[in-house]
């Protein structure tokens, strides 16, 4: 992981473009579900690897057991 690539590794939790403060949530992409953030501009960060189901990603978020 590159320093500053994720919020956990030092990225700001505030988007420099739209000034939104982001919070962790379950997100979805073509690759699967992941723990990440969105701001008004769109996807902001991917904090975890990918999960096959929403439930698996939600469990990782709830327990704090996620990472890249």
The answer, as to whether pTM is greater than 0.85, is yes
Cross-strand partners of 51: 33
DSSP assignment of 41-62: TEEEEE-S--BSSHHHHHHHHH
What pLDDT is recorded for position 42? 93
Q: Looking at residues 41-68, what average pLDDT do you find? A: 95
**Which tens digit of pLDDT belongs to each residue from 1-52?**
677 889 988 999 999 999 999 999 999 999 999 999 999 999 999 999 999 9
Residue with tokens 């996807």: 43
Based on the structure, what is the number of domains in the chain?
Answer: 1
| Higher-pLDDT residue of 8, 57 | 57
Question: Which domain, by its residues, includes 47?
Answer: 1-68
């Amino acid at each position: 992981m590159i320093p500053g690539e994720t919020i956990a590794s030092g990225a700001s939790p505030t988007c420099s473009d739209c000034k939104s403060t982001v919070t962790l949530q379950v997100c979805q992409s073509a690759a699967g579900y992941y723990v990440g953030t969105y701001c008004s501009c769109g996807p902001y960060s991917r904090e975890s690897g990918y999960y096959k189901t929403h439930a698996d990603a939600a469990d990782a978020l709830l327990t704090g057991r996620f990472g890249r």
